[in-house]
Structure 1
Amino acid sequence: MRTGLVIYSSSIQRLVEFYCRVFGFDILESDESYALLINGNFELVVLETEISRKWPSTEKARENTPIKPIFFIDVSLDLISGKIKENGGSVYQPKSWEFGGRQVCDGCDCEGNIFQLRVGKNA
Structure 2
Amino acid sequence: MSLKTKPGAVIFAKQLERMATFYSEVLLLPVTHADGDHMVLESDVFQLVMHAIPRQIADTIAISDPPAIREETPIKLFFPVASLADARARAALRGGQLNPSSHEWTARGFRACDGHDPEGNVLQLREPAP
2:128 paired residue number: 120
Match of 2:73 among 65, 86, 89: 65
> Do structure 1's residue 90 and structure 2's residue 83 form an aligned pair?
no
The code of the aligned residue for 1:63 comes to: E
Identity %: 29
Q: Aligned in 2, Cα 1:28/1:102: closer, same or farther, shift over 3 Å?
A: same
Q: Aligned in 2, Cα 1:96/1:37: closer, same or farther, shift over 3 Å?
A: closer
CA RMSD of aligned residues (A): 1.8
Counterpart contact for 2:96–2:117, Cα < 8 Å? yes
Q: How many angstroms apart in 2 are the aligned matches of 1:2 and 1:55?
A: 31
Counterpart contact for 2:27–2:80, Cα < 8 Å? no
The one-character-per-residue Cα deviations of 1:90-113 (angstroms, maximum 9, x if unpaired) are 111343531212112001111111
Instruction: Look up the SS of the partner of 1:21 in the other structure.
Output: helix
> Do structure 1's residue 56 and structure 2's residue 81 form an aligned pair?
no
Match of 1:11 among 2, 12, 15: 15
Counterpart contact for 1:12–1:34, Cα < 8 Å? yes
The code of the aligned residue for 1:55 comes to: I
Pairs aligned (count): 121
1:21 paired residue number: 25
Q: Which structure has the larger Rg over C-alpha atoms?
A: 2
Shift of 1:73: 1.7
Q: How many angstroms apart in 2 are the aligned matches of 1:96 and 1:22?
A: 17
Structure 1 stretch 25-34 or stretch 51-60: which is displaced more? 51-60
TM-score by length of 1: 0.87
Instruction: Look up the SS of the partner of 2:68 in the other structure.
Output: coil
Runs of 4 or more consecutive aligned structure 1 residues displaced over 4 Å after TM superposition: none
Unaligned runs of 5+ in 2: none
TM-score by length of 2: 0.83
Unaligned runs of 5+ in 1: none
